[in-house]
Structure 1
Amino acid sequence: MIIVMAAQASPAHIDAVVAKIRAAGLSEHLSRGTERTIIGAVGDERVLSADMFETMPGVERAMRVLKDYRMVSREVRPDNTVVSVRGVQIGGAAIQLIAGPSAIESEPHMLALAARLQQSGIRLLRGGAYKPRTSPYSFQGVGEAGLGYLRDAARRYGMPMVSELLDIRLLDTFLEHDVDVIQIGPRNMQNVELLKEVGRINKPVLLHRGVASTLSEWLMAAEYIAIGGNHNIVFCERGVRSFDTASRHALDISAIPLLKRETHLPVLVDPSHAGGRASLVAPLACAAIAAGADGLLLEVHDAPQHALCDAEQAITPDALDELLATLRPLAAAVGRTL
């Protein structure tokens, strides 16, 4: 930690800061300039906080040298992490697409859609059994039965399954149904107790960014999972809240290279939720791949006009095939495969 003393700081003020550093078991390094004295706290700075010093007389500001997130940072692991889900590699040379309906509606529908997605070359199947809705009167999902429908479809067609966990009390249910990737949605990104629990299990976690969360907050949410022992974490950028209502959210394209600079973990993008309109999915997906995303999360429905949830942003299987044809040369241009 670095403590910058104010220009008018007295020797007594400096001595008090040094004493606090030593009391915490660290040593100090003083650099006296013509206008400022800078004090470096040498040692494990995790025992210190900026607030400890910024409230002291004579201190102008204090700042950490190390990041609050460590286990998920590139400082700990410079090479990219590849998360394996039943043999499907996320974060490797191949760009992975996770596709399926926003909400699971019935067993026949899930089976039919999974068969069609497999024909398109999709390797991971998604579906929401429990749906967090803004309105309590909106469709909330079919519940545990949906996990069974999703599991049967995924196993029949050889695709790992992805579903969103809303409540810590449902974790055992997800484990009983052997959900391959547990999705933590934007509403739960900072649900600390939920993050701790999924950190204790050996299941990949797809961690979405909160609609008003900074990259640092998002990274620290992942750190909660990692310190529990689960390092199979995949980030998913899905847009941040904006003043503009032209789209559902504003896709933060800059988050992709910024996040990949900070962390060794894979980064996916959800263009469906970011745009909120089917017509925006393809251009946002292309932008995400060009920016370095390791994969996409897509909402696909065979009849979007009849979908029980997020109908306006779902694309049809035929539109998915058109998107894949567009993405393949783009992926090759950035040195990836699809």
Structure 2
Amino acid sequence: MKVTKNIKLSAIKVLQTEADAIQNLIFFINDEFEACVEAILASTGRVVVTGIGKSAIIANKIVATMNSTGTPAIFMHAADAIHGDLGMIQKDDFVICISKSGNTPEIKVLVPLLKRSGSKLIALVSNMESFLAEHADFVLNATIAAEACPNNLAPTTSTTAHMALGDALAVCLLEARGFTSEDFAKYHPGGSLGKQLYLTVEDVIPKNMIPLVKENASLSEVIVEISGKRMGATAVVNEENQLLGVITDGDLRRMLQVRTDIQNVKASDIMTRQPKTISKDEFAIRALNRMKEFNITQLVALDGENIAGFVHIHDLMREGIV
């Protein structure tokens, strides 16, 4: 039977409950949180993140975020830890243990073993009176009022709060290390995200395809250049090869709509003066943003004052940036 009653209200309630929980975490960002960040920064070890059940899934996400933002991290499942995986922990490592209750049997077995290894223990916990919180070197408070589940059982609000606090920790470490977008690109070379961070205009402009005509070129010469180089446009230059303007195929169509006598039309008569340009050394994503800003499909790429070519929207699409 299809039940639609109160579906929207239920969804809104879940989102509001989780949003409120994250908002309340602001009040738990205290001196201990700051000291925890500073201790990790001063350490020569890694960050080992552990948990069980849903907390293990959140731990994996935090590990992925830290690794991609300059903080070396590894995941260790809390159940596997007591069956051999403790061997991955080194003395200078920091171990973040994620748990809502902080009192599960696995946690109670694991904590003394972690303390014995000499590594520092960080509790990311929603119960400040728990066994985990009591024995940790640092406690990141992720207390929540209730789960979004109507039975207050399924991990929903708690896992959201844990992930958000893990993000806060990772970003604080990122900023403290001075981690830049260039650093980020080193860890994300694949996909469109990576290309936005390292691909330059020079990388995408077609080689040996520089359509250009002199300012006194005839209309037929302009058409042949635009058609032959297949860029949808041509640059117009003076005798010193300095850029004067650009003629697009759109300019040609608009000219034919208003002029009947085209015998004596020269390139300088129909070109767009002061065309939009971009340095060949700029990131390709900035070329895309510039095209969007001016609602155009190509830009003249410059090498200093010289024309390096044209970058077309299709070039960016081909690279998967659009």
Same fold (TM over 0.5): no
For Structure 1 versus Structure 2, the TM-score category normalised by the shorter chain is under 0.3
Q: TM-score, normalized by length of structure 1?
A: 0.27
TM-score, normalised with respect to structure 2: 0.28
Bigger radius of gyration: 2
The structure with the largest helix share of the pair is: 2
